[in-house]
Amino acid sequence: MPSLSLNVGLNNGRKLPFGGGAAPSGIPTATTTIVNISVPVIGLDGLFTKSTPDTWSGLSSYSLEFINGVQWQILLDGDTVGINDLAIQTINYIPQTGWRDPTTITVVA
């Protein structure tokens, strides 16, 4: 008599094709204490120093902050002058791409 085997739930040791998506990337905040941010359209070009895990102090009244646990922003006196639109952001990495408002923002370690 023939037997029937469905192998339900078995993947024969292979990785399944689904996962959690791309990991965050950028400048690691755990090992970096100074970043340079350039925003030519507003004349910003200077060093930002890590003050707290989610705040980096810059020239004059500029700061780089991880806002509400979801997004990096560049602020001037508390007003947003640059915002990052990447879908996956963490306090552990400052993104180097995905910046807008204005369109040309450069962040390097």
Residue-wise pLDDT tens digits, 43-67: 999 999 999 999 999 988 999 999 9
In angstroms, the Cα distances linking 13 to 7, 8, 16, 24, 51 are 13, 14, 9, 27, 47
18 in a structural domain: no
54 in a structural domain: yes
92 in a structural domain: yes
The confidence band for 6, taking pLDDT boundaries of 50, 70 and 90, is very low
65 in a structural domain: yes
Q: What pTM did the predictor assign?
A: 0.76
Domain containing residue 67: 28-108
Q: Which range, 1-10, 16-25, 88-97, is most confident?
A: 88-97
- What is the number of structural domains in the chain? 1
99 in a structural domain: yes
8 in a structural domain: no
Residues counted in the chain = 109
The confidence band for 109, taking pLDDT boundaries of 50, 70 and 90, is confident
